[in-house]
Amino acid sequence: MKVNGETADGTVEVPSGSTLEFPGGQVGFAGGTGGAYGVPSCLHLPPAPPGNHLPMRIEAGERALVHTALQDKAITYLRYLENRDWASARTMCSDTATVWHNDGKGDETIDQNISGMRGQIDAIESMRYEIVRQFTKADEVLQQHVVHVATKDGTRGQVHAAVYFRFEDGLISRIEEYANFVPSA
Protein backbone atom coordinates (compact mmCIF):
# COMPACT_ATOMS: atom_id res chain seq x y z
CA MET A 1 0.00 0.00 0.00
CA LYS A 2 1.08 3.61 -0.54
CA VAL A 3 0.33 6.60 1.71
CA ASN A 4 0.68 9.92 -0.10
CA GLY A 5 2.75 8.11 -2.74
CA GLU A 6 5.14 6.45 -0.23
CA THR A 7 5.12 2.67 0.33
CA ALA A 8 3.93 1.78 3.87
CA ASP A 9 2.96 -1.34 5.80
CA GLY A 10 -0.45 -1.69 7.45
CA THR A 11 0.66 -0.55 10.93
CA VAL A 12 1.89 2.98 10.22
CA GLU A 13 -0.12 5.95 11.46
CA VAL A 14 -1.18 8.31 8.72
CA PRO A 15 -2.27 11.93 9.00
CA SER A 16 -5.98 12.59 8.64
CA GLY A 17 -6.95 13.22 5.03
CA SER A 18 -3.97 11.37 3.55
CA THR A 19 -4.47 9.68 0.20
CA LEU A 20 -4.19 5.89 0.41
CA GLU A 21 -3.49 3.70 -2.65
CA PHE A 22 -4.28 -0.03 -2.49
CA PRO A 23 -3.38 -2.88 -4.84
CA GLY A 24 -5.79 -3.16 -7.74
CA GLY A 25 -6.14 0.59 -8.21
CA GLN A 26 -8.37 1.25 -5.20
CA VAL A 27 -7.91 4.50 -3.33
CA GLY A 28 -9.05 5.76 0.05
CA PHE A 29 -8.55 8.54 2.53
CA ALA A 30 -7.55 8.41 6.19
CA GLY A 31 -10.49 9.35 8.41
CA GLY A 32 -10.73 11.69 11.37
CA THR A 33 -9.99 15.34 11.99
CA GLY A 34 -6.59 16.76 12.81
CA GLY A 35 -5.05 13.52 14.07
CA ALA A 36 -3.28 10.42 12.93
CA TYR A 37 -5.33 7.30 12.26
CA GLY A 38 -4.23 3.81 11.37
CA VAL A 39 -4.96 2.41 7.96
CA PRO A 40 -7.89 0.24 9.21
CA SER A 41 -9.95 3.41 9.74
CA CYS A 42 -9.73 4.44 6.11
CA LEU A 43 -12.53 4.40 3.57
CA HIS A 44 -11.90 2.16 0.55
CA LEU A 45 -13.22 3.50 -2.73
CA PRO A 46 -13.35 1.74 -6.09
CA PRO A 47 -11.15 3.17 -8.81
CA ALA A 48 -12.68 6.18 -10.54
CA PRO A 49 -13.95 5.57 -14.07
CA PRO A 50 -11.78 7.19 -16.75
CA GLY A 51 -12.76 10.82 -17.29
CA ASN A 52 -14.89 10.90 -14.14
CA HIS A 53 -12.84 13.21 -11.96
CA LEU A 54 -13.02 16.84 -10.96
CA PRO A 55 -10.32 19.24 -12.14
CA MET A 56 -10.24 20.98 -8.74
CA ARG A 57 -10.11 20.19 -5.05
CA ILE A 58 -13.53 20.10 -3.37
CA GLU A 59 -13.52 21.59 0.11
CA ALA A 60 -15.67 20.35 2.98
CA GLY A 61 -17.52 22.38 5.58
CA GLU A 62 -18.55 25.92 4.75
CA ARG A 63 -16.18 26.05 1.73
CA ALA A 64 -18.13 23.27 0.01
CA LEU A 65 -19.46 24.02 -3.47
CA VAL A 66 -23.08 23.21 -2.62
CA HIS A 67 -24.94 24.56 0.38
CA THR A 68 -28.57 24.46 1.24
CA ALA A 69 -30.33 27.54 2.55
CA LEU A 70 -30.57 25.87 5.97
CA GLN A 71 -26.83 25.17 6.07
CA ASP A 72 -26.20 28.82 5.25
CA LYS A 73 -28.60 29.89 8.03
CA ALA A 74 -26.79 27.71 10.58
CA ILE A 75 -23.47 29.28 9.56
CA THR A 76 -24.91 32.80 9.62
CA TYR A 77 -26.25 32.22 13.14
CA LEU A 78 -22.77 31.20 14.31
CA ARG A 79 -21.14 34.19 12.58
CA TYR A 80 -23.50 36.48 14.51
CA LEU A 81 -22.40 34.81 17.76
CA GLU A 82 -18.74 35.18 16.77
CA ASN A 83 -19.25 38.88 16.24
CA ARG A 84 -21.27 39.31 19.44
CA ASP A 85 -24.28 40.42 17.43
CA TRP A 86 -26.77 38.91 19.87
CA ALA A 87 -29.81 40.72 18.45
CA SER A 88 -29.23 39.42 14.91
CA ALA A 89 -28.61 35.90 16.20
CA ARG A 90 -31.87 36.09 18.15
CA THR A 91 -33.87 37.17 15.08
CA MET A 92 -32.88 33.90 13.38
CA CYS A 93 -34.71 31.89 16.08
CA SER A 94 -38.38 31.26 16.75
CA ASP A 95 -40.02 32.75 19.85
CA THR A 96 -40.20 29.27 21.42
CA ALA A 97 -36.72 28.04 20.41
CA THR A 98 -34.95 25.82 22.94
CA VAL A 99 -31.30 24.88 23.44
CA TRP A 100 -29.78 21.79 25.04
CA HIS A 101 -26.11 21.26 25.92
CA ASN A 102 -24.39 18.14 27.25
CA ASP A 103 -23.72 19.93 30.55
CA GLY A 104 -26.47 18.18 32.52
CA LYS A 105 -28.58 21.33 32.96
CA GLY A 106 -31.37 20.35 30.56
CA ASP A 107 -33.19 22.60 28.12
CA GLU A 108 -33.12 26.37 28.21
CA THR A 109 -34.84 29.00 26.09
CA ILE A 110 -32.91 30.71 23.31
CA ASP A 111 -33.07 33.93 25.34
CA GLN A 112 -31.46 32.21 28.34
CA ASN A 113 -28.80 30.73 26.10
CA ILE A 114 -27.89 34.04 24.46
CA SER A 115 -27.96 35.79 27.83
CA GLY A 116 -25.56 33.17 29.22
CA MET A 117 -23.19 33.65 26.28
CA ARG A 118 -23.35 37.41 26.67
CA GLY A 119 -22.47 37.03 30.36
CA GLN A 120 -19.36 34.95 29.59
CA ILE A 121 -18.08 36.90 26.58
CA ASP A 122 -16.13 39.57 28.49
CA ALA A 123 -13.34 37.06 29.18
CA ILE A 124 -13.12 36.10 25.49
CA GLU A 125 -10.65 37.95 23.28
CA SER A 126 -11.71 36.12 20.14
CA MET A 127 -13.60 33.08 18.94
CA ARG A 128 -13.94 31.63 15.47
CA TYR A 129 -16.23 28.81 14.33
CA GLU A 130 -14.56 26.46 11.86
CA ILE A 131 -17.22 24.40 10.13
CA VAL A 132 -15.89 20.88 9.51
CA ARG A 133 -18.94 19.28 7.90
CA GLN A 134 -22.71 19.63 7.61
CA PHE A 135 -25.54 17.28 6.72
CA THR A 136 -29.05 18.39 5.85
CA LYS A 137 -32.35 16.53 5.99
CA ALA A 138 -35.71 18.28 5.52
CA ASP A 139 -35.79 20.99 8.22
CA GLU A 140 -32.64 19.85 10.02
CA VAL A 141 -28.90 20.49 9.89
CA LEU A 142 -26.36 18.32 11.69
CA GLN A 143 -22.99 19.97 11.89
CA GLN A 144 -19.53 19.35 13.25
CA HIS A 145 -17.46 22.40 14.06
CA VAL A 146 -14.48 23.56 16.09
CA VAL A 147 -14.60 26.86 17.96
CA HIS A 148 -11.14 28.37 18.26
CA VAL A 149 -11.10 30.39 21.49
CA ALA A 150 -8.60 32.91 22.86
CA THR A 151 -9.24 34.47 26.26
CA LYS A 152 -7.94 37.80 27.54
CA ASP A 153 -5.81 36.00 30.15
CA GLY A 154 -3.90 34.21 27.37
CA THR A 155 -5.69 30.84 27.49
CA ARG A 156 -6.07 29.25 24.09
CA GLY A 157 -8.13 26.24 23.16
CA GLN A 158 -10.71 24.63 20.96
CA VAL A 159 -14.27 23.55 21.55
CA HIS A 160 -15.01 20.46 19.46
CA ALA A 161 -18.74 20.21 18.89
CA ALA A 162 -21.49 18.34 17.10
CA VAL A 163 -24.59 20.52 16.79
CA TYR A 164 -28.10 19.75 15.65
CA PHE A 165 -30.27 22.60 14.33
CA ARG A 166 -34.02 22.16 13.71
CA PHE A 167 -35.87 24.78 11.68
CA GLU A 168 -39.58 25.64 11.60
CA ASP A 169 -40.86 28.21 9.11
CA GLY A 170 -37.27 29.12 8.26
CA LEU A 171 -36.31 29.91 11.87
CA ILE A 172 -34.17 27.92 14.29
CA SER A 173 -36.52 26.17 16.71
CA ARG A 174 -34.11 23.77 18.44
CA ILE A 175 -30.36 23.53 19.02
CA GLU A 176 -28.67 20.54 20.62
CA GLU A 177 -24.94 20.80 21.21
CA TYR A 178 -22.47 18.16 22.27
CA ALA A 179 -19.24 20.01 23.07
CA ASN A 180 -15.85 19.42 24.63
CA PHE A 181 -13.19 22.06 25.38
CA VAL A 182 -9.61 21.06 24.61
CA PRO A 183 -6.92 23.47 25.88
CA SER A 184 -4.03 24.16 23.52
CA ALA A 185 -0.72 22.64 24.50
Model pTM?
0.63
pLDDT in tens, 47-86: 545 544 444 444 555 555 445 789 999 999 999 999 999 9
Residue 120 pLDDT class (50, 70, 90 cuts): confident
Residue 130 burial (CB count, 10 A): 14
pLDDT in tens, 9-47: 555 565 655 565 656 555 555 554 444 444 433 444 445
The span from the CA of 36 to the CA of 18, in Å, is: 9
Q: What pLDDT, on a 0 to 100 scale, did the predictor assign at position 29?
A: 54
Give the residue among 167, 144, 174, 147 at the shortest CA–CA distance from 68.
Answer: 167
Kindly state the DSSP code that residue 59 receives in the 8-state scheme: P
Residue 110 predicted with pLDDT over 50: yes
The domains located in the chain, with CATH, are 2-45 (no CATH), 61-183 (3.10.450.50)
Contacts of 64-71 with CB under 8 Å at 24 or more apart are: 64/134, 67/134, 68/136, 68/141, 70/136, 70/139, 70/140, 70/141, 70/165, 70/167, 71/134, 71/136, 71/141, 71/143
Q: CA-based Rg of the chain, rounded to a whole angstrom?
A: 20
